[in-house]
Amino acid sequence: MDTQVVTASVARPPLEFDLIADFACPWSFLGKRKLERALDSIYGIPVPALRWHGLRTKGEVPPASATWRDHLATRLPPGVSVDLAQETLTQAGLDLGIHFDFARLGSVPDTREAHRLVKLAENEGAHGALVDALFSAFFERGQDIGNHEVLTELGRSRGLAEATLTAFNNPSAGADLIDAEEKRLQGLGVMATPNVLINGRILVPGPAEVSTYVQALDQALFPGLGASEDKRLLH
Render 26-37 in DSSP notation, one character per residue: HHHHHHHHHHHH
Predicted confidence pLDDT, tens digits, the chain (235 residues): 454 444 444 445 578 888 999 999 999 999 999 998 988 877 767 777 788 999 986 556 666 667 999 999 988 999 999 999 999 999 999 999 999 999 999 889 999 999 999 999 998 888 888 999 999 999 999 999 999 999 999 999 999 999 999 999 999 999 999 999 888 888 888 888 999 998 888 989 888 899 999 999 888 888 765 444 333 322 2
Domain ranges of the chain: 17-234
Give the pLDDT score at 23: 95
Q: Using CA atoms in the order 169, 127, 61, 182, what is the torsion angle rounded to 10 degrees?
A: 100
| DSSP H helices in 46-161 | 68-73, 82-94, 112-121, 127-139, 148-157
The per-residue pLDDT for range 162-199, each reduced to its tens digit, is 999 999 999 999 999 999 988 888 888 888 899 999 88
Give the pLDDT score at 190: 86
Give the pLDDT score at 166: 96
Question: What is the C-alpha separation between 80 and 91, in angstroms, rounded?
Answer: 16
Query: What mean pLDDT is reported for the chain?
Result: 85
Give the pLDDT score at 221: 83
Predicted TM-score of the model (pTM): 0.84
Give the pLDDT score at 58: 59
What are residue 6's phi and psi, to 5 degrees? -110, 125
> Sheet holding 51-54: strands in order across?
51-54, 17-21, 195-198, 202-205
Give the pLDDT score at 61: 64
Give the pLDDT score at 121: 93
Q: Which CATH superfamily is domain 17-234 in?
A: Glutaredoxin (3.40.30.10)
